[in-house]
Structures are given as C-alpha cells and as structure tokens.
Amino acid sequence: MMPNLREAVLAAQDRKALDLNILDLKGICSFTDFFLICTGTSSRHMQAICDAVREKLESSGVAHTHVEGYAQADWILVDYLEFVVHIFSERARHFYDLERLWKTARRVPLPDGDP
C-alpha cells in the first residue's frame, strides 16, 4: 500500500471512521488509482474524519487537489490524485454504493494490526 494512502487510512481510523474499504482501481479507472471509502455517524463526525485525513497528509507535505461536499457533509470527497477519499453518511453510502459500481476493483486489505 502506498504510504500516503496508509496515512489517510490511519487518520480515518483514529477518528473512528466506520466500514473502511480500499478499492484498487489501477487499470480500470483513468483518474485515480485507489478509493478509500468510509462512513461517518453524523455530519460533524464526517467533517472530523475529513479534517484528520487532511491534517495528517498536510503534515507530511501532501496537499489535496480538491475537496467537495464538506459543508453539506452527506458525501465528502477529498482528491489526492493517486487516491480519492470518500466519506459518506450511512444513507448516502448505501444509495451511491461505490463498491457495487466498482465491483471489478480489487479490495485492498487494511494495514496490519489496525481494526
């Protein structure tokens, strides 16, 4: 797993993100290599997950290129070019079902020793 993606996963886990899933999109997607998908329990929780990921990566010198949906906090998207972080409410995650839409993507295991 690429180090920056690992840092994003650990930051999301640190903020108690639910149902983390990593999809490997190499070879089937033209705009990114990975999706990190997770769920928050409220809009504030989703924003806290987003903030933690951004702060962790910025402290390593990695800047996002785009953030979308932060104010509404139903589906927050943070684009790091090589990977995209999707933070969903439970309802939005079920509705958009990215795992089903990208069902040919390989699932990447979460880092060892982490929940």
**Dihedral angle at the C-alpha atoms of 103, 8, 38, 89, nearest 10 degrees?**
-130
How far is Cα 56 from Cα 104, in angstroms, rounded to an integer?
30
pLDDT category at 1 given cuts 50, 70, 90 is confident
44-73 residue pLDDT tens: 999 999 999 999 999 999 999 999 999 998
The CATH number corresponding to 3-108 among 2.60.120.10, 3.30.420.40, 3.30.460.10, 3.90.550.10 equals: 3.30.460.10
pLDDT category at 113 given cuts 50, 70, 90 is very low
Edge-to-edge strands of the sheet including 106-108?
66-68, 75-79, 83-88, 34-39, 18-24, 106-108
Domains of the chain by residue range: 3-108
101-110 residue pLDDT tens: 999 999 999 9
Q: Please give the share of the chain, as a percent, with pLDDT higher than 90.
A: 93
Which pLDDT does position 37 carry in this prediction? 98
pLDDT above 90: residue 23: yes
Kindly write down the DSSP assignment for every residue of the chain, as one continuous string.
Answer: --HHHHHHHHHHHHTT-EEEEEEE-TTT-SS-SEEEEEE-SSHHHHHHHHHHHHHHHHHTT---SEEESTTT-SEEEEE-SSEEEEEE-HHHHHHH-HHHHTTTSEEEPPPTT--
67-95 residue pLDDT tens: 999 999 899 999 999 999 999 999 999 99
